[in-house]
Amino acid sequence: MVGRALRKPAENATAPPDFDLEGHVFYLFTQIMGRRNRQLQEQLAPCGISVPQWRILAVLHERAGCTMNELADVTTVDRTTLTRALDRMARDGLVMRKSDTRDRRNVRLGLTPAGNDAFCRVLPRVVAQNERAVGGFGAAKAASIRALLHRMLRNLDAEYDRRNATWRRDRDAFLHDRRKGESS
């Protein structure tokens, strides 16, 4: 098996296209994210929060009432890691799970007051790390980069805008139901 993998290409095989790893966009993304996550983990450790937990806190702060599938999509944390992190965070009183009143098969997720406090406690560390990463860009350049990254997301995910619109509609319904339940 190893011998076959190392075999010389056939005489008539075409040469691979030129490839510059340092110029490959997704290589750069993984290098940036790897370095950022390692440094961020050091910053979050004193707060007892991991990078995957930070992602969960951030998404649930912004997208209260999302489902597990939506959370997995937005956090890009694999399902096993996500489930374990959510279980730990629920046990620690940071997240809550609530049955969806419109579809009992779904569970809606949200931050508890302690989860919101944890979000507020770690946010300055995350913001400082993000500012360090875009240091020297200026506001206009950073906005341009964000716009380009959103374009890349849309290029790779034709459903990106539709899913976000659906999420906003579902979030509004969830928040309406929650407020209605609190006032009863």
pLDDT tens-digit map of 103-123: 778 889 999 999 999 999 999
Supply the mean pLDDT for the chain: 87
Domain range summary for the chain, segments of one domain joined by +: 38-133
What token pair was written down for 31?
A: 């290098």
Q: Is the pLDDT of residue 173 over 80?
A: no
Q: CA of 183: how far to CAs of 11, 82, 146, 171, 176, in Å?
A: 77, 32, 40, 18, 11
Residue that wins the pLDDT comparison between 140 and 182: 140
Return the pLDDT at 172.
Answer: 75
For the entire predicted model, the pTM comes to 0.77
Average pLDDT on 6-32 reads 79
How far, in Å, CA of 71 to CA of 56, rounded? 7
Q: Which CATH class is domain 38-133?
A: mainly alpha
Return the pLDDT at 101.
Answer: 80
Q: What's the pLDDT tens digit per position in 66-79?
A: 888 889 989 988 88
How far, in Å, CA of 73 to CA of 69, rounded? 6
Sorted by sequence, the CB contacts under 8 Å of residue 175 that are 6+ apart come out as 64, 65
Sorted by sequence, the CB contacts under 8 Å of residue 50 that are 6+ apart come out as 41, 44, 85
**Lowest-confidence segment of 55-64, 100-109, 146-155, 164-173 by average pLDDT:** 164-173
